[in-house]
Amino acid sequence: MGMYQLPFTAIAVIILVAMLIALTINFMDLAIKTSVVDKTATEDLETIHISRMVKDCFIGSGNYITKDFLISTSGKNICDLCQICDPETHVLVKDINTADEWSYDYTGDADNQHVIFVNLYDNTEIHVGRLYVET
């Protein structure tokens, strides 16, 4: 019986080590996927939140963004204008009716972008516009 103990022990050890390696790889794979999904979701939610903050900053006390405000502030830094400095935020406002645009260092290349609809007032009527925010 002593002759068969060594091969069975060796096979049992090999199976145990293989199982431990498989469990470790499985756990590492699960942990990496979870952290990537959490980071992406957090960044997307942050961009949505910042877009609402920018909208509130641009609207001020009314229910619309005035074109006079957009013309006078276009090209300025959002950090200086709305005190939203971290993360770095870039904005583009488009009037859907007239195709006018006001850019605040917007490039359209960022990974995290969000678009919301806003009302734009041009001293005579209210137009629908889009507020593009990238972080």
Locate 61 and state its tokens: 């006390």
- Strands lying side by side in the sheet with 101-104: 65-66, 113-121, 126-134, 90-95, 101-104
Residue ranges per structural domain of the chain: 2-134
3-31, pLDDT tens digit by residue? Answer: 556 677 888 889 999 999 999 988 888 77
pLDDT tens digits for 39-49? Answer: 778 888 999 99
pTM (predicted TM-score):
0.71
